[in-house]
């Protein structure tokens, strides 16, 4: 890495993160003629969450034709729900072919980003040096920082221990006693794979998820050829998937009861996968479907029913040096402990490193006002900052790539507006931000996430949903279609330096 050139002293735009969001920003800024930018990424490659989550069985639960950039269709997806290596290869290929990688700096972590009000710039200290930028684009992701469970004794565990998003491929699971803590989206993909090789697998479930069948299938060579060569076919296919997914929105946001067909499918999935009535009862959730993310799998329930797998529903009391003790006093020995316990979603770690107009970090501002942004993208007191996958932009039903493209379109229009009007600074007004969030939270009141009788990572410690978007994705796209400068406080170009007072200009005197 020592051969890397030093960071430039300043750029017009600094993008943090090289996942789907950061890469999209880089491509669209370039297309808009904004070539003076830098993307800093703490990891060693593009891909973000798709680079990090390499656990066995990792795959996307949104169809790949939709979970991809609209401007980079891929006729070669092998499956309707593609596995992680293919998604990562797709992101790498798009990055390579778009010609933007020369402005990416890997192994470069943001340590501190502070707004310099006088210079009207962000001053960003990174692990590779300092860089100044007029705009700061935060694409650090909502699922980037693994959350380790706070369980008594876990730090004293002597076996192998790792998080699902930091899979240790050097650990051989064959014949071992493995424990998986968690039964979320990651765990249900991991469990069937681990069950195939482990000597014994204990799955620690705190809350049962709803799991519907995975209607996955492999694309034939003929289908791929048609998608590649028939004009408009792939776009039509994508559009069909998009509207199919949008049709789920009312069930999530207005009338959870209309999701009963999904509930029936999930119950049938349990019945199909698990013969034992006692185990069936243990995996049957007691809250509305959709309250937590609806999961998809054909292999999870059969894996739980396998002879070498035990579903443990007693709460974990503590972890010992070589096992897990549940509250009923039973200790189960463990060689390898896999924690699939999710991510820091409502306390985004990047917000500790970004300081706004009054020197407070974004985390401190969010602690006071709640995690909230204007249109999920801009934040009062944080001028010229654009958060991709910001507060209340997450989805329960469709592709985050669609939301990212909406936000990047807004960013590019903001930059264009600033150029045309010679604005140095744009900052969302507090009243506009409050109005946006009041409307959002009013809508949230009717959603299954808030009324469905579960607790989830969608809600913060006050029970406020700060992560999900409570409307259709086209409503989001519409709201961000153009940069609405009226909702912003702007500062024009810095005033020209005062003329020196000690040497009056003669013409003025004579005028």
Residues making contact with ligand NAP (CB under 6 A): 59-61, 143, 149, 151, 164, 181-187, 204, 206-207, 293, 316, 340-343, 457
Q: How far is the CB of 384 from ligand NAP (least distance, A)?
A: 29
Diameter over CA atoms, the chain: 101
| Spatial contact of 41 and 164, defined as CB atoms under 8 Å apart | no
Token pair 């493209």 is found at: 405
Rg (CA), the chain: 25
Which residue is closest to ligand NAP by CB? Answer: 184
Phi, psi of 37 (to 5 degrees): -140, 165
Question: In the 8-state DSSP scheme, what is residue 102?
Answer: G
Q: How far is the CB of 93 from ligand NAP (least distance, A)?
A: 20
Question: In the 8-state DSSP scheme, what is residue 101?
Answer: G
Q: Whole-angstrom Cα distance, residue 212 to residue 228?
A: 31
Q: How far is the CB of 53 from ligand NAP (least distance, A)?
A: 7
Helix (H) or strand (E) holding 286: none
Q: How far is the CB of 198 from ligand NAP (least distance, A)?
A: 19
Cα dihedral 287, 288, 294, 299 sign? positive
Token pair for residue 217? 């299938």
Question: In the 8-state DSSP scheme, what is residue 132?
Answer: E
For ligand NAP, the closer CB: 59 or 128: 59
For ligand NAP, the closer CB: 137 or 340: 340
Q: How far is the CB of 42 from ligand NAP (least distance, A)?
A: 19
| Spatial contact of 346 and 460, defined as CB atoms under 8 Å apart | yes
For ligand NAP, the closer CB: 144 or 433: 144
Provide CB contacts within 8 A for 258, sequence distance 6+: 250, 251
Q: Is 123 helix (H, G, I), strand (E, B) or coil?
A: strand
Residue 306 CB-density burial (10 A; 0-12 exposed, 13-18 middle, 19+ buried): middle
Angle between helices 20-31 and 400-421 (to 10 degrees): 40
For ligand NAP, the closer CB: 184 or 380: 184
Q: How far is the CB of 168 from ligand NAP (least distance, A)?
A: 16
For ligand NAP, the closer CB: 386 or 457: 457
Q: How far is the CB of 343 from ligand NAP (least distance, A)?
A: 6
Token pair for residue 176? 């071992």
Q: Whole-angstrom Cα distance, residue 477 to residue 399?
A: 13
For ligand NAP, the closer CB: 145 or 413: 145
For ligand NAP, the closer CB: 80 or 186: 186
Q: How far is the CB of 172 from ligand NAP (least distance, A)?
A: 23
Question: In the 8-state DSSP scheme, what is residue 259?
Answer: G
Q: How far is the CB of 340 from ligand NAP (least distance, A)?
A: 5
Nearest to 58 by CA among 33, 84, 79, 91: 84
Q: Whole-angstrom Cα distance, residue 450 to residue 452?
A: 6
| Spatial contact of 289 and 210, defined as CB atoms under 8 Å apart | yes
For ligand NAP, the closer CB: 57 or 380: 57
Q: How far is the CB of 453 from ligand NAP (least distance, A)?
A: 13
For ligand NAP, the closer CB: 247 or 455: 455
Count CB-CB contacts under 10 A for residue 278: 8
For ligand NAP, the closer CB: 30 or 299: 299
């Amino acid at each position: 890495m020592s051969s890397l050139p030093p960071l430039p002293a300043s750029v017009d735009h600094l993008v943090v993160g090289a996942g789907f969001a950061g890469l999209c920003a880089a491509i669209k800024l370039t297309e808009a003629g904004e070539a003076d930018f830098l993307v800093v990424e703490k990891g060693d490659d593009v891909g973000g969450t798709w680079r990090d989550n390499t656990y066995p069985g990792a795959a996307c639960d949104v169809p790949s034709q939709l979970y991809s950039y609209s401007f980079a269709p891929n006729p070669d997806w092998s499956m309707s729900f593609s596995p992680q290596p293919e998604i990562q290869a797709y992101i790498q290929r798009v990055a390579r072919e778009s010609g933007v990688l020369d402005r990416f700096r890997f192994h470069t972590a943001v340590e501190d980003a502070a707004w310099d009000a006088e210079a009207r710039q962000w001053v960003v200290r990174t692990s590779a040096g300092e860089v100044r930028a007029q705009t700061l684009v935060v694409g650090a992701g909502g699922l980037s920082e693994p959350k380790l469970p706070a369980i008594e004794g876990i730090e004293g565990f002597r076996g192998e221990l790792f998080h699902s998003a930091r899979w240790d491929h050097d650990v051989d699971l064959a014949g071992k006693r493995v424990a998986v803590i968690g039964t979320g989206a990651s765990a249900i993909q991991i469990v069937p794979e681990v069950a195939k090789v482990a000597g014994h697998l204990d799955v620690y479930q705190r809350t049962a998820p709803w799991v519907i069948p995975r209607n996955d299938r492999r694309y034939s060579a003929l289908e791929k050829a048609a998608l590649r060569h028939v004009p408009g076919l792939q776009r039509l296919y994508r559009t069909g998937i998009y509207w199919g997914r949008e049709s789920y929105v009312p069930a999530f946001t207005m009338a959870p009861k209309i999701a009963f067909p999904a509930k029936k499918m999930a119950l049938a999935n349990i019945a199909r996968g698990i013969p034992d009535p006692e185990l069936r009862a243990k995996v049957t959730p007691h809250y509305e479907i959709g309250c937590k993310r609806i999961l998809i799998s054909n292999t999870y329930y059969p894996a739980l029913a396998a002879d070498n797998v035990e579903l443990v529903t007693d709460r974990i009391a503590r972890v010992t040096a070589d096992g897990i003790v549940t509250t009923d006093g039973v200790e189960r020995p463990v060689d390898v402990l896999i924690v699939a316990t999710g991510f820091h979603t409502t306390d985004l770690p990047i917000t500790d490193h970004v300081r706004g107009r009054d020197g407070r970090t974004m985390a401190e501002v969010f602690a006071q006002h709640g995690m909230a942004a204007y249109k999920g993208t801009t934040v009062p007191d944080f001028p010229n900052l654009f958060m991709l996958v910001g507060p209340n932009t997450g989805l329960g039903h469709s592709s985050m790539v669609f939301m990212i493209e909406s936000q990047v379109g807004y960013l590019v229009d903001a930059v264009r507006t600033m150029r045309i009007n010679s604005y140095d600074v744009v900052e969302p007004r507090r009243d506009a931000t409050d109005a946006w969030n009041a409307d959002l939270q009013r809508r949230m009141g009717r959603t299954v996430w808030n009324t469905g009788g579960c607790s989830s990572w969608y809600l913060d410690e006050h029970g406020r949903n700060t992560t999900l978007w409570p409307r259709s994705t086209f409503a989001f796209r519409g709201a961000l279609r153009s940069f609405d400068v009226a909702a912003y406080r702007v500062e024009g170009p810095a005033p020209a330096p005062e003329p020196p007072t000690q040497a009056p200009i003669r013409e003025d005197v004579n005028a």
